[in-house]
């Protein structure tokens, strides 16, 4: 009888341990408003809150640079220039993020950069995020932006792996490092940016404290 009880208790204990290790860290499991560390459960193997937060702060500097933020505005007009002023000509986002009427993005923005300073930059996918998923960068704190990026309801339904793939190989993201004449590039090179983004996720996708 003792042996049976002992075996039963051991099985329950091992089961609990097993289940606890299969929970993801809080920040990795979605919804934005919850801080990374408030959810119960042990972090995934390799999780490192400090390293994850530090990596995101490096990512944040890139996302808030004009080449990235200018097309992730808080309003419905894209931004221009290193001072991120509202786009000339009263350009509007439109429902699909492609402009409106005679002022659609690709009416001026070509599949490639037009050579010369102050000429329209270009990319085949030139657009803003759509009106129903604005993915605002402008004005977001690091914590707010990290939470927003992780929330599938706000990030276009992307998983963490899809987020990594997006920042690593999307042609419009890559444009930020080939922005055409007279435009500054983000503060990290693209390879380092993608590396820091992946590190943020791999180390647990923790939200910064602020």
51 counts as binding another protein under rule CB under 8 A: no
18 counts as binding another protein under rule CB under 8 A: no
Measured in whole angstroms, how far is the alpha carbon of residue 161 from the centre of its chain? 11
Q: Binder to another protein among 15, 46, 75, 111 (CB under 8 A)? A: 111
**Which residue in this structure is represented by tokens 């959810």?**
39
As a whole number of angstroms, the distance between CA 178 and CA 52 comes to 28
Q: How far is the CB of 202 from another protein (least distance, A)?
A: 41
Per-residue x/- mask for another protein, residues 156 to 175, rule CB under 8 A?
Answer: --------------------
Q: Residue 129 half-sphere exposure, CB side, CA atoms within 13 Å?
A: 19
Asked if residues 51 and 203 have their Cβ atoms less than 8 Å apart, the reply is: yes
Residues pairing with 71 in the sheet: none
> What number of other Cβ atoms are within 10 A of residue 25's Cβ?
20
90 counts as binding another protein under rule CB under 8 A: yes
91 counts as binding another protein under rule CB under 8 A: yes
Q: Binder to another protein among 49, 61, 104, 125 (CB under 8 A)? A: 104
Tokens of 4: 């049976």
> What number of other Cβ atoms are within 10 A of residue 40's Cβ?
7
Asked if residues 42 and 20 have their Cβ atoms less than 8 Å apart, the reply is: yes
Tell me the window of 43-51, 105-113, 133-141, 175-183 that interacts with another protein (CB under 8 A): 105-113
As a whole number of angstroms, the distance between CA 98 and CA 104 comes to 6
29 counts as binding another protein under rule CB under 8 A: no
119 counts as binding another protein under rule CB under 8 A: yes
95 counts as binding another protein under rule CB under 8 A: no
Number of residues that bind another protein (CB under 8 A): 20
100 counts as binding another protein under rule CB under 8 A: yes
Tokens of 1: 């009888």
Tell me the window of 43-51, 100-108, 158-166, 199-207 that interacts with another protein (CB under 8 A): 100-108
As a whole number of angstroms, the distance between CA 204 and CA 57 comes to 14
- Which residue number, 126 or 193, has a Cβ lying nearer to another protein? 126
Helices (H) and strands (E) in the chain, counts: 8, 4
- Which residue number, 119 or 164, has a Cβ lying nearer to another protein? 119
Q: Binder to another protein among 107, 141, 171, 189 (CB under 8 A)? A: 107
Interacting residues toward another protein by CB under 8 A: 88-92, 100-104, 106-108, 110-111, 114, 116, 118-120
């Amino acid at each position: 009888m003792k042996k049976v009880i002992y075996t039963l208790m051991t099985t329950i204990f091992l089961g609990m341990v097993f289940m606890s290790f299969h929970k993801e860290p809080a920040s990795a499991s979605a919804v934005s408003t919850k801080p990374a560390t408030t959810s119960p459960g042990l972090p995934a193997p390799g999780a490192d809150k400090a390293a994850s937060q530090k990596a995101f702060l490096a990512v944040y500097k890139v996302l808030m640079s004009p080449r990235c933020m200018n097309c992730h505005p808080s309003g419905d007009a894209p931004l221009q220039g290193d001072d991120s002023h509202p786009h000339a000509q009263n350009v509007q986002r439109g429902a699909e993020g492609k402009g409106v009427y005679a002022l659609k993005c690709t009416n001026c923005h070509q599949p490639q950069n037009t050579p010369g300073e102050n000429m329209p930059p270009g990319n085949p996918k030139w657009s803003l995020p759509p009106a129903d998923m604005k993915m605002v960068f402008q004005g977001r704190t690091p914590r707010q932006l990290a939470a927003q990026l992780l929330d599938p309801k706000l990030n276009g339904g992307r998983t963490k792996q899809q987020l990594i793939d997006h920042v690593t190989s999307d042609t419009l993201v890559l444009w930020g490092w080939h922005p055409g004449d007279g435009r500054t590039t983000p503060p990290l090179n693209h390879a380092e940016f993608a590396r820091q983004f992946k590190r943020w996720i791999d180390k647990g996708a923790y939200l910064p404290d602020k």
